[in-house]
Structure 1
Amino acid sequence: MQKIHTNNAPKAVGAYSQGIKVENFLFVSGQIPIDPKTGEFVSNNIKEQTLQSLKNIEAIVKEAGGTIENIVKVGVFLDDINDFADMNRVYEEFFGSHKPARAAVEVAKLPKDAKIEIEAIAYIK
Structure 2
Amino acid sequence: MPRELILPKNPNLNAPRNFNRPHAVGVKADGLIFLSGMTSIDPATGERRQGTMALETTTVLENMAAMLADAGSSLANVVKVHVFLHSMLEMEAFNAVYAKFFPDAPPARNVSGVVLNAGMKVEIDCVAVSDGPATPARARSTIEPKNPMLNNSRRGNRPHSPGVRAGNLIFVSGMVPIDPATGEGNPGPISEQIHTVLSNMRHLLESNGSGLDRVLKLNVSMANMLESEAFYRIMPKYFPENPPACTMVGMQLSFGNGVEIECVAQA
Given that 1:11 and 1:36 are in contact with CA atoms closer than 8 Å, whether structure 2 keeps it comes out as no
CA deviation string 1:65-93 (max 9, x = no partner): 01111100000000100010000010001
Given that 1:31 and 1:118 are in contact with CA atoms closer than 8 Å, whether structure 2 keeps it comes out as yes
2:104 matches 1:97: yes
Q: Secondary structure at the match of 2:118?
A: helix
Which protein is bigger by CA-based radius of gyration?
2
Task: Compute the displacement of 1:10 (Å).
Answer: 4.0
Given that 2:84 and 2:124 are in contact with CA atoms closer than 8 Å, whether structure 1 keeps it comes out as yes
Task: Compute the displacement of 1:40 (Å).
Answer: 2.6
For 2:120, the equivalent position in structure 1 comes to 114
Relative contact order higher in (CA < 8 Å, ≥ 6 apart): 1
Given that 1:27 and 1:120 are in contact with CA atoms closer than 8 Å, whether structure 2 keeps it comes out as yes
Match 1:51 to one of 43, 50, 58: 58
Task: Compute the displacement of 1:97 (Å).
Answer: 1.3
Q: Secondary structure at the match of 2:125?
A: strand
For 1:36, the equivalent position in structure 2 comes to 43
2:84 matches 1:83: no
- The residue identity in structure 2 corresponding to 1:39 is G
* Range 39-48 or range 73-82, more displaced: 39-48
Q: In 2, distance between residues paired with 1:42 and 1:113?
A: 11
Identity %: 32
The two structures, once aligned, show a CA RMSD in angstroms of 1.3
Given that 2:50 and 2:120 are in contact with CA atoms closer than 8 Å, whether structure 1 keeps it comes out as no
* Range 89-98 or range 68-77, more displaced: 89-98
Q: Which runs of 5+ in 1 are unaligned?
A: none
Q: TM-score, normalised by structure 1?
A: 0.92
CA deviation string 1:23-66 (max 9, x = no partner): 20100000001112122333410001001111121111111101
* Greater than 6 Å deviation, 4+ residue runs: none
Task: Compute the displacement of 1:113 (Å).
Answer: 1.2
Given that 2:7 and 2:14 are in contact with CA atoms closer than 8 Å, whether structure 1 keeps it comes out as no
